[in-house]
Amino acid sequence: MREDGKIDYVEMPAGDLPATKAFYASAFGWNFTDYGPTYAAMNEGLDGGFNADPADAVKTPLVVLYAHDLEAMAAKVTAAGGTIVRPIFSFPGGRRFHFTDPSGNELAVWGEG
């Protein structure tokens, strides 16, 4: 069961998505579900995926947390001293926002619907 504030998903950059998938499949036996030409998800312990969309500037792993109420969580993040760097937006499977913590680390929070 998903819980508020728990690490739920990790997204990592992939400059060459086919090569990245081939590496992890070969080295570790990972399987992928493709969501278009620039995204492949994996479910290998902790769910996650690789993002090869050149429009996304994030080039470091992105930790994604879960929230049942995305708006309430965004308010909590802001109240705690975080900075929303990408307001709530829709994507296939739900909605999410990105924020930076006081140290400058970027994370995201997603919710269904």
**pLDDT tens-digit map of 97-113:** 999 988 888 889 999 97
Sheet strands (E) in 14-113:
32-34, 39-44, 46-51, 62-66, 83-91, 94-100, 106-111
**What is this structure's pTM?**
0.76
Which CA distances in Å does 22 have to 2, 10, 62?
30, 19, 21
Domains and CATH numbers, the chain: 7-111 (3.10.180.10)
- Contact indicator for 109, 97 with CB cutoff of 8 Å: yes
Alpha helices, DSSP H only, in the chain?
17-28, 70-79
**pLDDT tens-digit map of 53-67:** 888 766 788 889 999
